[in-house]
């Protein structure tokens, strides 16, 4: 049995990782301050996990949380480009200082491997498609700077202290439990809720911007592979599906699934948003044995059904 610490384990991605680890019978500890995570996400697993309610900005709490753990799967973050533009200091404190606290705690307490949730935002204004590890442009938001800095810290902790660190660059993850009601909600839950409530979904820009939308179970797979793959320490990997979908097409697909004829509304482009994003996942396929099993359309249908079920009265 392996002992895993999942930071941000009450969040969208973290809770899916926790669910799979519990299913596998592993020892699981969750560190979360519930600023953005939800207790209801952990409710089905509470009897099977240890819960540490604390903030990753607290160094002592980080030391306590990693003690006795084999692997840290670090998902905790303030994960929003617009939020980072509005409040860059808080973004830095949570995303960079919090990660550094955990890295230092992990190397002090003898953690075997540390898997960090990075972001495709680190590619910034690099015009090339698909995005390839090692070919990054200028970062376009404080959030992207946060993630790029944390990747460097992970690599330095591997080089200097021998801590096995792995960075996973997530490409627009979606699925059940993603909060549609946050001020900084992601596009897919926002669009679904707009249609369900009879409102036109809002597209920032012309709708031709594109993303590599990736269903959450693929990311769970990537984290658990990264925790064990022999070639992974010190490396950075793209985690996506290798498929590109425009935001306009996304809105149309969700409307089709829900049988809605509403047409999207358009507002100005937001600061910090990249125009196009598509993952080259060949390195992850080769070195992690990563294979995204749930495609975009199937994942979208599953996600829409989940939101519909949440809307239905009990």
Supply the residues annotated as catalytic.
143
The pair of structure tokens assigned to 130 is 């698909």
The structure tokens 């800095």 sit at 149
DSSP category for residue 290: -
- The secondary element (H helix, E strand) that includes residue 214 is strand 214-215
Kindly compute the dihedral angle of the four CA atoms of residues 258, 262, 212, 221, in this order, to the nearest 10 degrees.
Answer: -20
97: Cβ–Cβ under 8 A, 6 or more apart, which residues?
A: 57
> How far, in Å, CA of 142 to CA of 92, rounded?
8
Q: What is the crossing angle of helices 187-196 and 247-258, to 10°?
A: 40
> In this structure, how many other beta carbons lie within 10 angstroms of the beta carbon of residue 43?
11
């Amino acid at each position: 049995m392996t002992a895993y610490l999942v930071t941000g384990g009450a969040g969208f991605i973290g809770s899916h990782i926790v669910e799979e680890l519990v299913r596998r019978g592993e020892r699981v500890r969750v560190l979360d301050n519930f600023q953005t995570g939800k207790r209801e996400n952990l409710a089905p697993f509470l009897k099977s996990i240890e819960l540490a309610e604390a903030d990753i900005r607290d160094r002592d709490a980080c030391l306590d949380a990693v003690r006795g753990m084999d692997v840290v799967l670090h998902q905790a973050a303030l994960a929003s480009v617009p939020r980072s533009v509005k409040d860059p200091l808080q973004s830095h404190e949570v995303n960079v200082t919090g990660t550094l606290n955990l890295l230092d705690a992990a190397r002090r307490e003898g953690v075997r491997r540390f898997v960090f949730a990075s972001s495709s935002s680190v590619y910034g204004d690099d015009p090339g498609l698909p995005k390839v590890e090692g070919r990054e442009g200028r970062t376009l938001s404080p959030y992207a700077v946060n993630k790029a800095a944390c990747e460097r810290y992970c690599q330095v902790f591997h080089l200097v202290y021998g801590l096995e660190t792995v960075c996973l660059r997530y490409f627009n993850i979606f699925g059940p439990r993603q909060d549609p009601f946050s001020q900084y909600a992601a596009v897919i839950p926002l669009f679904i809720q707009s249609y369900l409530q009879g409102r036109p979904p809002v597209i920032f820009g012309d709708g031709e911007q594109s993303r590599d939308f990736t269903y959450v179970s693929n990311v769970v797979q990537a984290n658990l592979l990264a925790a064990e793959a022999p070639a992974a320490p010190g490396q950075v990997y793209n985690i996506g599906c290798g498929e590109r979908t425009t935001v306009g097409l996304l809105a149309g697909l969700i409307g089709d699934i829900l049988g809605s004829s509403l047409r999207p509304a358009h507002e100005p482009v937001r600061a910090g948003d990249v125009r196009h994003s598509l993952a080259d996942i060949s390195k992850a396929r080769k070195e992690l044995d990563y294979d995204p099993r749930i495609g975009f359309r199937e994942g979208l249908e599953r996600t829409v059904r989940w939101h519909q079920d949440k809307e239905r009265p009990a």
